[in-house]
């Protein structure tokens, strides 16, 4: 079943690309993607070495990205995408200075058991003025936005241990009573984050207590039959995605609980569609009192000009729709797919070109594009792909006023979110294939070809390295029975099954067979300066 699902996504994506680039050869499409990726990852490589590494404080070893080390911003939003950048373009940095930051923050900042607090650089000690609820909030932010994003690409190693330790202690010290038991917080953002963390911890460990705790949170909200979140942008998105992911996981592991939550979740989703969207399917910042009022291009345009919350569009629209797709996959019905297709198609409208999601801040563009990429990974729509390509180039990679020094990003959280989305977009264009090591002047692109893949690799200088193919990380690392739609991950595009066989053709060489495990370990490649190599990969039919 899993193999069929994976190949179906590849075939759908291939059909979409063929529609977008009618008449283009698949290798030409891969080569064009290589130009996009080469430009973007050259910048990421420079950012990592010229900007980010210098932010590691020599005295403490902490990543002082924004001048601080706290857990709601620095650890949650700056550190994980420093890690992602190192993961994609320089593994030596990943396993050296970037990993060392983890050791230092554990050593210096753990305060209540293994729950951390910010570091006070002036006093050279952990902060002493952090209130309990603030400590819980910051720790939850670190787990969900920071550590989960890392674990999704590195698997169950030391960052997973950190995630689990913090979660165990947050729940061991939970203070708030509910009819189902104690919970660590009554903050809707924290609880949405917790749902996403606990669902993952359960599938990675098999320990029932994680689902028990998640059910406490779901009951806390769904005991109110009319529960609907009113904030549809940052902070409100977490509960929507969290309840959606819990329902999906429980559809496999606790089907009775999933059935119990299903109508309540559908009520939540349907109410948002009725009272929180314009006529294009784009979501507003906040839920409206009724379905009436300014709609469509008029309301969104007014919101862009006035900044009025009731008319402004949410840069978290894609994050929210991830929960809808999770519901569809869990129930086996396409209840919301047409809505997602419609909103992605409508990104072609002039209104959504350079739309000021958060004014001129790079963060609004980064979040909106990221959400769209998560959706396109599941629902390929030509207009949506064209939109993310244009918006990424114009507002994340090449717009001088969005970049801290006009050329490269800074390291504070809004800039780091730009790096995050550029990496997600780049790996879409390589279909998850990574060149190791990354070399300035390299161009790596890939395009689906039926159930297989065609890769274009070009180098300005002589190059010798490997191409690393992606695994079905959702299962191998995260323990998910299915590749549930979710936030805080690098989406899977083309993946290789470790024990399956693949036919690889490199240039004019005769075809050879490799296992998926070998391709994940790295396919050796070498190029002379200025040369281009064509590689095709296809699963061996059984």
Q: Apex CA 469: angle with CA 76 and CA 384, to 5°?
A: 65
Residues with Cβ within 8 Å of 293's Cβ and at least 6 positions away in sequence, in order, are: 299, 310
Domain positions in the chain: 1-55+433-469+496-542, 62-173, 178-189+196-427
Average pLDDT estimate for 372-394: 98
Are 418 and 402 spatial neighbours (Cβ–Cβ below 8 Å)?
yes
Distances in Å between the Cα of 48 and the Cα atoms of 15, 24, 43, 335 are 36, 35, 9, 42
CA separation for the pair 167, 184 (Å, rounded): 10
- The 10s digit of each residue's pLDDT in 430-489 is 999 999 999 999 999 999 999 999 999 999 999 999 999 999 999 999 999 999 999 999
pLDDT for position 310: 66
Percent of the chain with pLDDT strictly greater than 70 = 92
pLDDT for position 501: 98
Are 304 and 312 spatial neighbours (Cβ–Cβ below 8 Å)?
yes
Strand, coil or helix: 69: strand
- The 10s digit of each residue's pLDDT in 478-537 is 999 999 999 999 999 999 999 999 999 998 899 999 999 999 999 999 999 999 999 999
The pLDDT-based confidence of 72 (bands split at 50, 70, 90) is very high
pLDDT for position 234: 84
- The 10s digit of each residue's pLDDT in 32-48 is 999 999 999 999 999 99
Distances in Å between the Cα of 28 and the Cα atoms of 186, 403, 420, 432, 497 are 53, 31, 27, 18, 27
CATH fold for the domain made of 1-55+433-469+496-542:
Immunoglobulin-like (2.60.40)
Are 225 and 207 spatial neighbours (Cβ–Cβ below 8 Å)?
no
pLDDT for position 542: 76
Distances in Å between the Cα of 315 and the Cα atoms of 72, 207, 283 are 19, 35, 8
Average pLDDT estimate for 59-63: 99
pLDDT for position 6: 46
Length of the chain in residues, anyone?
A: 542
Q: Report whether pLDDT(17) > 70.
A: no
Q: Report whether pLDDT(11) > 50.
A: no
What is the pLDDT of the chain when averaged over all its residues?
A: 94
CATH architecture of 178-189+196-427: Alpha/alpha barrel (1.50)
Average pLDDT estimate for 387-414: 93
pLDDT for position 399: 87
């Amino acid at each position: 079943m899993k193999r069929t699902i994976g190949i179906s996504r590849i075939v759908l994506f291939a059909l979409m690309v063929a529609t977008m680039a009618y008449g283009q050869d698949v290798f030409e499409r891969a080569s064009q993607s290589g130009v996009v990726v080469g430009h973007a990852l050259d910048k990421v490589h420079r950012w990592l070495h010229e900007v980010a590494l210098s932010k590691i404080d020599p005295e403490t070893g902490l990543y002082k990205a924004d001048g601080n080390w706290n857990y709601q911003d620095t650890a949650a939003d700056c550190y994980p995408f420093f890690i992602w950048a190192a993961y994609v373009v320089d593994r030596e940095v990943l396993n050296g200075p970037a990993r060392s930051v983890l050791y230092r923050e554990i050593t210096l900042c753990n305060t209540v058991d293994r729950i951390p607090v910010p570091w006070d650089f002036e006093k050279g000690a952990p902060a002493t003025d952090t209130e309990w609820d603030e400590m819980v909030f910051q720790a939850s932010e670190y787990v969900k936005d920071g550590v989960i994003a890392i674990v999704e690409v590195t698997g169950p190693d030391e960052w997973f241990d950190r995630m689990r330790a913090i979660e165990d202690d947050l729940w061991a010290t939970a203070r708030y009573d509910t009819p189902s038991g104690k919970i660590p917080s009554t903050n809707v953002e924290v609880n949405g984050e917790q749902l996403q963390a606990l669902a993952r911890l359960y599938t990675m460990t098999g320990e029932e207590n994680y689902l028990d705790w998640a059910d406490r949170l779901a009951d806390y909200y769904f005991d109110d039959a009319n529960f609907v979140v009113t904030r549809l942008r940052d902070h409100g998105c977490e509960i929507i995605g969290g309840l959606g992911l819990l329902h999906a996981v429980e559809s496999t592991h606790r089907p009775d609980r999933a059935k119990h939550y299903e109508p309540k979740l559908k009520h939540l989703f349907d109410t948002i569609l009725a009272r929180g969207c314009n006529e294009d399917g784009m979501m507003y910042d906040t839920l409206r009192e009724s379905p009436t009022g300014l709609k469509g291009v008029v309301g969104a345009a007014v919101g862009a000009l006035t900044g009025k919350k009731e008319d402004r569009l949410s840069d978290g629209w894609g994050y929210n729709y991830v929960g809808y797709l999770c519901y569809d996959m869990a129930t086996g019905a396409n209840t919301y797919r047409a809505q997602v297709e419609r909103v992605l198609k409508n990104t072609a409208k002039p209104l959504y070109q350079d739309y000021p999601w958060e004014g001129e801040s790079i963060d609004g563009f980064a979040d909106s594009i990221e959400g769209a990429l998560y959706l396109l990974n599941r629902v390929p729509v030509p207009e949506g792909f064209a939109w993310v390509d244009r918006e990424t180039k114009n507002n994340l990679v090449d717009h001088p006023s969005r970049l801290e020094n006009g050329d490269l990003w800074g390291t504070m959280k809004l800039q780091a979110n730009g790096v995050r989305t550029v990496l997600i977009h780049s790996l879409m264009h390589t279909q998850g294939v990574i060149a190791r090591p990354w070399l300035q002047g390299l161009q790596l692109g890939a395009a689906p070809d039926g159930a297989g893949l065609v890769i274009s690799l070009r180098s300005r200088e002589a190059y010798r390295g490997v191409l690393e193919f992606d695994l079905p990380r959702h299962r191998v690392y995260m323990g998910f029975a299915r590749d549930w739609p979710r936030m805080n991950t690098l989406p899977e595009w083309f993946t290789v099954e470790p024990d399956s066989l693949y036919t690889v053709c490199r240039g004019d060489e005769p075809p050879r067979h490799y296992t998926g495990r070998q391709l994940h370990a790295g396919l050796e490649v070498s190029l002379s300066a200025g040369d281009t190599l064509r590689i095709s990969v296809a699963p061996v039919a059984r």
